[in-house]
Structure 1
Amino acid sequence: MNKIKLLVVAFFLISFASFAQSNDQPLKIGYTNVEYILLQMPESKQIESQLKDHSTQLENQLKGKYAEYESKLQAYEKGAATMDKTIREDKEKELMNMNNSIQEFQRTAQMSLQQKEKSLVDPVIAKIDKAIKDVAKESGYTYVISNQALLAGPEDGDISPLVLKKLGVDPAKAQQTPEPAAAKPATTTKPATSSKNTKKKN
């Protein structure tokens, strides 16, 4: 699941959970890992599956565009020497336009994949954010921070199991699941050759 870690980091930069308490209550700090919690949720596999499908669709479109370009390039190179100058220049212009179109599609496909991932992850992050705040309020935590910024702390300060329970996930079944493999962006197909391949032949 590409860039989830960055999204989670951004979440913590703008959304540290802080809770006011009366002065007679002691300072109580908890910590958790949003990325870990996200990966334990059922939505995680759904997000990964949808991103994979979206990426596959984009890659198939890109492969189709590149196959068409390669076919026309080969036909041009085979017959360029015998082509009329006007026809040859028209073919070269067509190939250049196709080349530019492929490169533009690669850029927009990458953006599309990023936007898709953000649209899928953001609602789940918001759900986790609410659960963290609810747990902190119910358990009397003054602050909740990311364990990625924690250098040392007591084990009982980890509220991840409480947050998972609040989200309906059985903490006993939760494991230190590694981050899923990133969905490959639709830019793995060999880029179209540059316009030098369509250089005019006298």
Structure 2
Amino acid sequence: MKVQFTLGLFLAALLFSAPLSAQVKEARFGHIDTQSLLESMPERNSIQTEIEGAAAQYEQEIVRMQGDLEAKVAEYQQKAESWPAAIRAQKEQEITQDQQGLEQFYGTVQQELAMLEQNLLEPMIQRARKAIEEVGAEEGFTYIFDTSAGATVYNGGEDVLVLVKAKLGL
């Protein structure tokens, strides 16, 4: 009797778990080097050209400011001994202010270039992300890992770069 009861429980558990196991989907993993994908997108070149153009304009201004500063320093070094203390102090203050202004401008330029790059790249990144999500859904991937950061410990699964490029028409 005990054997029949145990067998009955086993069969009942088997019957109830069968539908659950049929619903369990096998995990499918993919990986993609998003950096490689972004570099292969045609708009990347025009974005890079625009950023380089803006950087060149800033560089011209920085070179001009450095030239002005160097001229003031050279004048100070030549004439400092012949100037009265008040003029010497005034020139030192001008040089210090120009140095600080140049450093501040350089920092602002770095921020503006980073912001420009982010604003220009965002639509391209969103387009790539959408294509990756669509390929993941269409091909039944559970996860698609980005290998461009180098943080992936296990490099198994399928490379979906070709599928995403095809989705983007590249």
Q: TM-score range by the shorter chain?
A: 0.7 to 0.9
TM-aligned CA deviation for residue 92 of structure 1: 1.5
> Cα deviation per residue 1:171-195 (whole Å; 9 max; x = unaligned)?
xxxxxxxxxxxxxxxxxxxxxxxxx
**Cα distance between partner residues in 2 of 1:38 and 1:153:** 22
TM-aligned CA deviation for residue 24 of structure 1: 4.7
1:151 to 147, 151, 154: 154
TM-aligned CA deviation for residue 118 of structure 1: 1.6
**Cα distance between partner residues in 1 of 2:55 and 2:33:** 27
**How does the TM-score come out when normalised to structure 1?**
0.66
Gaps of 5+ in 2: 1-21
**How does the TM-score come out when normalised to structure 2?**
0.78
3-state SS, counterpart of residue 23 of structure 2: coil
3-state SS, counterpart of residue 31 of structure 1: strand
- Which amino acid in the other structure matches residue 117 of structure 2? E
3-state SS, counterpart of residue 27 of structure 1: coil
3-state SS, counterpart of residue 144 of structure 2: strand
- Which amino acid in the other structure matches residue 84 of structure 1? P
Query: Number of aligned pairs?
Result: 146
2:43 matched residue in structure 1: 43
Task: Tell whether 2:125 aligns with 1:125.
Answer: yes
- Which amino acid in the other structure matches residue 34 of structure 1? T
Identity %: 27
1:140 matched residue in structure 2: 140
Gaps of 5+ in 1: 1-21, 170-202
2:26 matched residue in structure 1: 26
Q: Compute the RMSD of aligned alpha carbons.
A: 1.8
- Larger helix fraction of residues: 2
1:93 matched residue in structure 2: 93
**Cα distance between partner residues in 2 of 1:81 and 1:150:** 66
